Chains A and B, each alone.
Chain A
């Protein structure tokens, strides 16, 4: 088991897969992180040496991930709401924020857009 940013990963798991489990890291960010530390695509978590793990954890620490990111998004929406903007209102009404039509396809907006997002 390898400990990265407070999470234990089994050694046989690919690094790209482990990284993408964090909220806030998708394929693009993951590629950049891996290139930054010269990690190749088929590398497993078990192949990391201690310094690489520390470097990776330090880098991930500096990023806004998981709850920090959630809180940030939450605050952003709340700010929009508090300043009384249209976007804030749309968030609160569970409606699309960026001027989409609302006649038919707004399932995702209904589901996701809300003042208390998470």
Chain B
């Protein structure tokens, strides 16, 4: 006689919640079948029973231990926030605080008072259209205290005025004048804000603005990269890499910030055939939009755009501002690896190489921009990577600024037995035109204007006297603007 129990799964041996009903099932299933496999029959009968008795507790699909006491306590895990929300929260820029007092005498910063020297040490407000553009090109940062005041305003310091004057000069010069600045300074000394001010003034003058808010993104292995296919004749000594998504992001920022300007620009040159654009009617906006919409088109679109901007043609080109923040990260090996697992140097990325080539242009090379403009690169003080070769580069620039000749004995040179980064050393030949802007603490007038703004906004509830100003300046390391800002919102009893 064959067993009535399935020898494999022994399912008949199961203890049920309800012995009577299971007995009934057993009786039903036992009588007609002398089966080898009872499992299917069981399942069939179960389903029968289930359909008959609607209110019965559903049988679980698989065998489980029947002791109710040992049942694991189910923790109701709260739903995590939707994808991307936490990141958006982290990067959100708030530009106003309705609780703060309105500063009645706050003037707007405009093209007219851009270079007025009497504004030095005053806060000037940024108005609506400019704000949108600045926001679109990611000029604001979360670490800056925009969210404390009623409306965004910025301190005009002497460096700002100087920058404005240079922009004016570029505007008035007929030639292709390009001003190159490398802004350095201590932590919280206002380097990024100076970049923002430069962008603001560029927008005021209808310049085209390209901004790279965080240079570290290009080297920390968090974005896509691919080797650049080069033709044999222009093959370089080392493999170059493109970064499609970062190029796309750059084009997106440029598109939103400069949309009205790009719309008016027609093509001067023919663009590659594989770009899905109408030859003849397309404007540069269409080109940028194409690159911004699809990362596969981003790199060719950027190349075409750059050709339009750098090579003069029939149509005139606007002046261009390129702002790069925390450029130190581009001065050493990156976190990326090549296909044969070699470390890729930052200068092997096409965009990095291109932007650095603009700043450290070799003497005698053709002017990089068709109609001139400004390059405003700044270093970082809080997240500085340790790249000694770049430190040497900066020292050399300082020595040049002091009028020291490169052949003079005191000129900084690489340490004799060190292995300096050859990529960075190559930049040294192009130091001639770069102007090093070293940001120090604010002057007394500037710090007075800045702290007064805190008092008027109701954040600093303490009369501002000469003594207290001196105290603030002393506590802020001689008027370092970021430290002053911290003191301005500090609550005292």
- Taking beta carbons and an 8 Å cutoff, which residues of A are in contact with B? 12, 31-32, 34-38, 40-43, 47
Q: Are B226 and A41 in contact (CB under 8 A)?
A: no
CA distance A22 to B221 in the complex (A): 23
Q: Are A40 and B224 in contact (CB under 8 A)?
A: yes
Instruction: Give the one of B241, B335, B336, B337 with max A CB within 10 A.
Output: B337
Residues from chain A with a CB closer than 8 A to the CB of B62 are none
B341: interface (CB < 8 Å): yes
Q: Which one of A12, A35, A41 lies within 8 Å of B341 (CB-CB)? A: A35
Q: Are B341 and A40 in contact (CB under 8 A)?
A: no
Q: Are B224 and A43 in contact (CB under 8 A)?
A: yes
CA distance A51 to B223 in the complex (A): 19
Instruction: Give the one of A40, A42, A47 with max B CB within 10 A.
Output: A40
Q: Are A38 and B226 in contact (CB under 8 A)?
A: yes
Chain B residue at minimum C-beta to C-beta distance from A34: B337
B227: interface (CB < 8 Å): yes
With A40-B222, A40-B225 as known contacts, state yes or no: A35 contacts B338, CB within 8 Å.
yes
**Whole-angstrom distance from the CB of A23 to the nearest CB of chain B?**
22
Q: Are B83 and A40 in contact (CB under 8 A)?
A: no
CA distance A38 to B349 in the complex (A): 13
Q: Are B221 and A41 in contact (CB under 8 A)?
A: yes
B339: interface (CB < 8 Å): yes
Q: Are A36 and B339 in contact (CB under 8 A)?
A: yes
Q: Are B222 and A41 in contact (CB under 8 A)?
A: yes
Q: Are B225 and A38 in contact (CB under 8 A)?
A: yes
Q: Are A38 and B227 in contact (CB under 8 A)?
A: yes
Q: Are B339 and A35 in contact (CB under 8 A)?
A: yes
CA distance A1 to B341 in the complex (A): 29
Q: Are B224 and A35 in contact (CB under 8 A)?
A: no
Residues from chain B with a CB closer than 8 A to the CB of A12 are 83
* Interface SS, B side: loop
CA distance A35 to B222 in the complex (A): 13
Q: Are A40 and B339 in contact (CB under 8 A)?
A: no
Q: Which one of B222, B224, B338, B341 lies within 8 Å of A31 (CB-CB)? A: B341
Residues from chain B with a CB closer than 8 A to the CB of A35 are 336-341
Residues from chain A with a CB closer than 8 A to the CB of B221 are 40-42
**Whole-angstrom distance from the CB of A14 to the nearest CB of chain B?**
11
CA distance A36 to B338 in the complex (A): 7
Residues from chain A with a CB closer than 8 A to the CB of B339 are 35-38
Instruction: Give the one of A12, A35, A37 with max B CB within 10 A.
Output: A35
Query: What are 20 of the A-B contact pairs (CB < 8 Å)?
Result: A31-B337, A31-B341, A32-B341, A34-B337, A35-B337, A35-B341, A36-B339, A36-B341, A37-B339, A38-B224, A38-B226, A38-B227, A38-B339, A40-B221, A40-B222, A40-B225, A41-B221, A42-B221, A42-B222, A43-B224
**Whole-angstrom distance from the CB of B282 to the nearest CB of chain A?**
28
**Whole-angstrom distance from the CB of B296 to the nearest CB of chain A?**
10
**Whole-angstrom distance from the CB of A56 to the nearest CB of chain B?**
13
- In the complex, which residues 333-391 of chain B have their Cβ closer than 8 Å to any Cβ of chain A? 335-341
CA distance A15 to B139 in the complex (A): 32
CA distance A47 to B223 in the complex (A): 11
Chain B residue at minimum C-beta to C-beta distance from A37: B339
- In the complex, which residues 132-165 of chain B have their Cβ closer than 8 Å to any Cβ of chain A? none
Instruction: Give the one of A37, A38, A47 with max B CB within 10 A.
Output: A38
Chain A residue at minimum C-beta to C-beta distance from B222: A42
CA distance A50 to B349 in the complex (A): 25
The 0/1 profile, CB within 8 Å of A marked 1, for residues 235-246 of chain B is 000000100000
Residues from chain A with a CB closer than 8 A to the CB of B340 are 35-36
Chain A residue at minimum C-beta to C-beta distance from B342: A35
The 0/1 profile, CB within 8 Å of A marked 1, for residues 211-225 of chain B is 000000000011111
Residues from chain B with a CB closer than 8 A to the CB of A36 are 339-341
Chain B residue at minimum C-beta to C-beta distance from A12: B83
Q: Are B83 and A41 in contact (CB under 8 A)?
A: no
Residues from chain A with a CB closer than 8 A to the CB of B241 are 38
The 0/1 profile, CB within 8 Å of A marked 1, for residues 309-343 of chain B is 00000000000000000000000000111111100
